[in-house]
Amino acid sequence: NAPDRYAVIGHPVAHSKSPQIHAAFAGQTGQNLAYERLLAPLDGFVTVMRGFVAQGGKGLSVTVPFKLEAHGLADMLTARARAAGAVNALHIVDGRIVGDNTDGAGLVRDIEHGAGVALEGKKVLMLGAGGAARGAVLPLLQAGTASLTIANRTAAKAAGLAAGFAAHGNILARDFHALQGGFDVVINATSASMDDQLPPVRPDVFASGALAYDMMYGREPTVFMRFAAEHGADTRDGLGMLVEQAAEAFLLWRAVRPDTAPVYAALRAGDQCTSRQ
Ligand code: NDP
């Protein structure tokens, strides 16, 4: 039998680890599938995506910068994709395009299973209010966090996010300078780490034994992780989130949940080889 076809679509896409991750999941679970890279021109997402579907493609991972466009063209959205306002996984079901967002669920799973921190009853601070932060809000509230505080450089975006999700749990927006007391989990969902910058947080945001989580990966440890470690926090980068969001997409497509631990370990080992070169 010909394998079912899947792909990651983005611009750029050559750096994506998704083909490696999904090939490992398929091997491990015995699923007969092929997973490729699709580079779409910046103005060509819809054409490339529809072409792949017309050739029998069963699903796509969507990466930068097409997550909003994918949200706009899906025939149906899952509740978490609607809440996120962005789509990172497309599933073709009976010719219809279902849009999902697995980033937030991947984050929650990596915090709980990867870092071993149960979110229920925890005070959580999230820095940033961009696409990744927005996708994380509903899964974090649904994990039973005692409170979720959002701080963002552009304060109005944090306020908008908090207002939009007020019905779903205890969510607050605060200015960076007005953050008070320690948080059990501090998530850096800003893109500041990409420029080796630190969001303007004081060291006392980290409660004793706090987990400091940076969504950024591939540049470990980030400035944020180093700052958090200097002030007593445990740290983790976003590589586990990447693997877990892929596992959620694999589950959506194949109805089988892969074991993420060996795939995470292999990617982590690969990262270390690269950084030694
Ligand atoms: P966006 O561009 O949508 O949002 C960027 C956010 O960062 C905004 O809140 C912005 O604030 C803030 N920001 C940018 N620079 C600074 C700075 N110097 N100081 C303080 N705040 C700053 O990006 P995304 O939400 O898509 O991505 C955010 C991060 O998450 C990236 O590092 C990305 O790599 C990572 N990510 C990781 C994933 C994973 O699987 N591990 C998945 C998705 C994303 P403002 O609103 O004021 O502009």
Residue ranges of the domains in the chain?
4-101+240-268, 104-108+117-236
Active site residue 123: no
Would you tell me how many other CB atoms lie within 10 Å of the CB of residue 220? 19
Closest to 250 measured CA to CA, from 33, 37, 85:
33
d(CA 189, ligand 1 centre) in Å: 5
Does residue 84 sit in helix, strand or coil?
A: helix
Structure ipTM: 0.98
pLDDT at 271 over 80: no
Q: Matching CATH topology for 4-101+240-268 and 104-108+117-236?
A: yes
C-alpha 191 – ligand 1 centre gap (Å): 3
72 annotated ligand-binding residue:
no
- CA-190 nearest atom, ligand 1: 7
Catalytic residue among 58, 67, 122, 123: 67
Instruction: Supply the pLDDT for residue 277.
Output: 35
Rounded Cα–Cα distance for residues 177 and 234 (Å): 23
Compute how many other C-beta atoms are within 10 angstroms of the C-beta atom of residue 176: 16
Nearest CA to ligand 1 atom 40: 242
Q: What is the mean pLDDT of residues 145-151?
A: 98
pLDDT at 92: 98
Does pLDDT of 220 surpass 90? Answer: no
pLDDT tens across 9-61, in order? 999 999 999 999 999 999 999 999 999 999 999 999 999 999 999 999 999 99
Looking at domain 4-101+240-268, does it have CATH number 3.40.50.2300? no
What fold does the segment set 104-108+117-236 form as a domain? Rossmann fold (3.40.50)
Give the binding-site residues of ligand 1, using a 6 Å CB cut-off: 103, 128-133, 152-154, 157, 189-194, 197, 199, 215-217, 238, 241-242, 245
Burial of 90 (0-12, 13-18, 19+ CB in 10 A): buried
Share of the chain above pLDDT 90, in %: 94
Closest alpha carbon to 128 in 101, 100, 99, 103:
103
Residue 181: predicted pLDDT: 83
Mean pLDDT of the chain: 95
Q: What is the pLDDT of residue 149?
A: 98
CA dihedral (198, 110, 165, 222) in degrees, to 10, reads 10
Picking from 73, 25, 21, 85, the residue whose alpha carbon sits closest to that of residue 48 is 73
For 91-141, write each residue's pLDDT tens digit. 999 999 999 999 999 999 999 999 999 999 999 999 999 989 999 999 999
* pLDDT score recorded for residue 180: 86
Q: What is the DSSP letter of 65?
A: T
What is the band of 275 on the pLDDT scale with cuts at 50, 70, 90?
A: very low
